[in-house]
Amino acid sequence: MPVQPISVMRSILTPDEFIGYLKGNIIKYAMRAGKKGNTDDKAKFETYKKWLHKELQDKQDKNEVL
């Protein structure tokens, strides 16, 4: 897949909408983790958590510059 869906989401959503999207996915994967033996959900939870942390840090850095 040449363009990743996460890149599309980041480009079409506002920063606050994108942060909400990330939070929603964190909740989803946290609630699904450990059910039906799917270990991918834990990895996805960690990935979305990392992306959220980066977005929040970038937002904070941007606000400090202003």
The reported pTM is: 0.85
User: What's the total number of domains in the chain?
Assistant: 1
Place of tokens 């990895």: 43
- Evaluate the CA torsion angle 36, 39, 43, 44 in order and state its sign: negative
pLDDT in tens, 20-31: 999 999 999 999
Residue 27: CB atoms within 10 Å: 12
Q: pLDDT of 1-40, one tens digit each?
A: 799 999 999 999 999 999 999 999 999 999 998 887 777 9
In single-letter form, the type of residue at position 9 comes to M
Range of the domain at 38: 5-65
